[in-house]
Structure formats: structure tokens, C-alpha cells
Structure 1
Amino acid sequence: MQNKFSFRRFSMLFQKHTSEYLSGYLMAVVVLLGVLILFLGGAAYLDSAPLSENLQALVFALLFFGFGFIFTSGVFASLGDKNKAISFLTLPASHFEKYLVGWIYSFLFFSLVYVACFYLVAAVVLRMDTNPGQESDLLDMFTGDRRMYMSFVFYALLHGLAIFGSAFFKKGHFIKSAFAFVVIMLLIILLNEQVMQLVWSRDLKGAVPFSDITFLENQELMRIAPPEGLQSLAYGIPVVLAVLFWAAAYSLLKEKQV
């Protein structure tokens, strides 16, 4: 166990990583704040109504997934580049400790910093965007029908895919990982829709996996929700896939030779 993880060795590696990359991470935070101001501030300026929670949710999810995928790929970029991998793999620490430092920064720290930046910008924009008789609240993360807390579950899946792509692809890992994710998701959605068409024998208007099914019945749009147990299963699948990607990426890291 000592060979895989030593708290003293891990803390020294963590401090080394922080001292080397802190300035770059702070610059990334500044860029994130600028993009959030552009999206949220621009939306508030162009719209006559206050910034709605639906629009806040859309911006939150898009930038969370987009920035998170890019940031994670950057943190683990050395895994796919042979020249960079030499300095990374020869650090006086175990593969698990190196992996854990990157995981903490790209998943835990990124999530916390992103949420803090988003709510800071959203609060300022809402305070400045005041119209008499029109009010809007900050996005509620944990209550309501939007289930915004599920963003963290799906980010875990994207995070796992980004790490796996960094370890698996030798060149262009970001583009290749993103392309693979889009292709896989499209195939799943298309296959699911075809299967549902056969099962229901109707012209479906929407059939996202583990979500509601909508179709026309006597010129009326009908919606059928999956059983509650199946919805809970749908929430667990991204977590399981994320863990599998994390484990697979770590396995590839251990197999790399200098």
C-alpha cells in the first residue's frame, strides 16, 4: 500500500503541481469569468425580461460541460504526448498519486470553482438587470423539476471520457475524445428511437434513453414517463460509466512505459 499511496509523498506532489500550474489555472478562472459575463450579461442585455432560471440552467450546463472537458483534457494532456509523458511518469511518486492529483484538480476543484464563478456572475447580472415589476431568481441547483444537480453526474461521465481519451490517444486526444463521445451518444439515441418505434408501433416525436416518450394520438400529443425505478437507474448509469472510464484510464496510465 505504501508503494501506491503515501500521504507525505502525495502532499509533496500536490504542492509541486500547484506551484507549477497555479498561474495557468488562475488565468483559466479569469477566462471562465469573462465567458460567463459574455453569455449571461449578453443574454440579459438582449432580452427585455430579467434573466430566467431556464436560461441560467442552459448556460450553466453548456459551459460546465464544455469548459470541464477542455480543462480535464489539458490537465491530463501529458499522458498522450510521449515527450511530456517522460517528465510526468518519472516523477518520484506512484502512478496512483499522479492520477489522483489530476483527478482532484480537474473534477473536485473545477466543479467548486465553476459553481462559485457562475453564481457570482449570475448574482451580479441579476442585480444590475432590474426592471420594475419583473423579478427573476438565481438558478436553484437542488430543487425543482430541472434537477440541475444531475449536471454533476453527467460531468463525471464527461470527465472520465476526457481522462481516458488523454491516456488512450497519442495525438489530438481532445478532438478525438470529443468526436468519439458525440458519435457514441448519437448512436445510442438513434438506436433507442428505432427500438422504441418497434415496441410502440407509433411515430414517436421524442425518445431519449430513459426519458419520457412522446407521440401523437388522435392529433393530441401524448407523453409516457418511464417507471420511477427506471429513472433512478438512468441516474446511476452515468456514474457507473464514469467509474469505468476512470478505472480504464488509470489502468492505461500504469501500463505506460518511459
Structure 2
Amino acid sequence: MQTNNVLDFRRLGYYFQYHMLASWKSYLLGALSIFGLLMLIPTFMLLTDNSPGNLGEVVGFYYFGLFFGGLLFTSMAFSDLASKEKGSHFLMLPASHFEKFITIFLITTVGYLLVYHIAAYSALLFLNQVSVIRHDAGILIDWNFFDKQDGHIYIYFAYILLQAIFLLGAVSFSRLAFIKTLVANLLVLLVLYLLNTLVVWILFAGHTQTPFQNVPFLLVGARGGKFDTDVFIISDKMVHSYAFIAQYVLVPVLWTIAYFRLKDKEI
């Protein structure tokens, strides 16, 4: 019987063990860095005697760490490909490209989120204890920023989308993947914005104050109405379509492209 050259769970387990044994020092250093950086926030607040009253006052630090740390970590996922010797060793290991990809994928998604949230919760407990000691009152532990009605849940969808983009960038760019992916994304957004502006200018020629008086793919401001300004907004149905595509279509497509980009590097 011919062996499965795409996915064998036993072989995947062996490769996962090998990868963790080969990279545990780097991952441990990264985990300790996350803990250390998150602990700096309550330490700074302790020194300045400025403890927050509720989670809403520190959630910005949480989101910044989530995005910056996660995207930076993801962009380093295939750093071995930057070196010819390490890249050859990585590609020639007796495991399928899918098994290598799924291992890195799990580490940069599930692994990072697990470690980051453990570190963030530890920092929160430390901050709360500091607040009790200094002010005889703890932090109001409310989780309102998780309320879907307030839109905060879409921050996590945005993170998943960006993480998929930077995973593709990690495979596509051998060196300086984080910076190159960031620049590439900015250029793509700029091109989309200019194309949208061109379409708006053609459709509303002479009726806009400036050709850039729009929010790309969302609304257009034109002359007219009581205050000489009419605002044309896309329908809720289109907004939901955008969200559906970003959440359930674009992300899997980016993961698939990243896998085939890795497969193309086969020697």
C-alpha cells in the first residue's frame, strides 16, 4: 500500500515533536518576552501610582500586544527559508509540506493565542493585586469589550485576517518578512483606494467637493441636500457581505495560497 504523501497523523506527530525540540529555546524566549513585556504595564502603573479602575482602561495595551506580537511572531514562522542551508534542511525533512505547514500554522495561531492570553491574564491578576495593595480596591473585572453588539468581536476577526496575510508573507518573503509584508499591504490598500476613488470620480463627476471625499467601499460625500452635502452609504446587506467574505472566505483562501507557496519551494 502506498503511503500518504500529504498527511499522516503519526508522521505529523513525529514532526511536531521534532520541531518543538529543535525550536524550544526560541519559543521559550519568546514566551518569556511576552510575559515580561506585559508585566511592564502593571509595574509602570505601580511606580506611577496610577492604577486603572476597570479593564476598559487597559484593553488598548492588550490589543496592541495581540496584534503586534502575533503578527511579528507569524512573520518569523518560516525564517529558516532565508538561509540556503537551513532552508534546504527544512524542505528535505521526511515529512510532507502540508505537515510542515500545519505544524507552523498551529504554533503561530493556537500556540501564540494560548501563551499570549495566559500571559495577559497573569498580568491582569498582578495588576489587580497591585491595585488592592495600593488603593484598597481592585479593578472592575468586566468583559464588556467582548460584547458582539459593541463590535469588539470584529477586532478578533481583523486579527485572524491579518495573521493569515502575514503567514502568507512569511512564506513569500525570505528576509525581513514583517517589514516587507507590511509595505506590501500598504501598497495594496493604496492601489485599492485609488481605484475606488477613480470609480467614485467617474460616477459622481462634478458632484463631489474633492475626488477623495469618500470612505473606500463604504460611503461617498457629494454636493446637494440642505447643507450642500449628501452622503451615500452602502446598504447593510453589502456590509454583511464584506464581513462574511473577510471572515469565512478570504482567510481560508490566504491559508491555502500560503500552503501552495510553501509547496512551490520544494527542491
Deviation, 1:61, is 1.7
Paired positions, count: 256
User: Who wins on radius of gyration, i.e. which is larger?
Assistant: 2
CA contact (8 A) 1:40 1:59 kept: no
Aligned to 2:60: 58
Residue 175 (structure 1) aligned with residue 184 (structure 2)? no
User: How far, CA to CA, are the matches of 2:125 and 2:21 in structure 1?
Assistant: 31
Of 142-151 and 157-166, more deviation after overlay is shown by 142-151
CA contact (8 A) 2:45 2:51 kept: no
- SS of the equivalent of 1:23 reads helix
1:158-197 to 2 correspondences below 5 Å? 158-188=162-192
Instruction: Quote how far apart the aligned CAs of 1:37 are.
Output: 1.9
Distance 1:16 1:37 in 2: 31
Amino acid at match of 1:54: G
Superposed CA offset, 1:205-233 (max 9, x none): 984755x8999x989xx999865434433
Unaligned runs of 5+ in 1: none
Structure 1 length-normalised TM: 0.79
CA shift at 1:84, angstroms?
Answer: 2.0
Query: 1: distance between equivalents of 2:91 and 2:113?
Result: 26
Measured against aligned partners, the alpha-carbon deviations of 1:168-201 in whole angstroms (never above 9, x if no partner) come to: 2233222211221233345546766787797694
Give the match's secondary structure for 2:146. coil
Please list, as runs of the form range in 1=range in 2, the aligned pairs for 1:1-258 lying within 5 A after superposition.
Answer: 2-42=4-44, 46=48, 48=50, 50-130=52-132, 131=135, 135-140=139-144, 142-143=146-147, 145-188=149-192, 201=208, 207=215, 227-239=235-247, 240-258=249-267
Structure 2 stretches lacking a partner, 5+ long: none
* Equivalent AA in structure 2 for residue 255 of structure 1: D
Query: Identity of aligned pairs, percent?
Result: 24
Q: Is the 8 A contact 2:164 2:254 kept in 1?
A: yes
Matched AA of 2:258:
A
Q: Secondary structure at the match of 1:5?
A: coil
Q: Aligned partners of 2:126 and 2:221: how far apart in 1? A: 39
RMSD of aligned residue pairs (Cα, Å): 3.7
Is the alpha carbon distance of 1:192 and 1:88 closer, same or farther for their aligned partners in structure 2, counting shifts above 3 Å? Answer: same
Measure the CA separation in 2 of the matches of 1:145 and 1:44.
34
Alpha-carbon offset, residue 79 of structure 1: 3.3
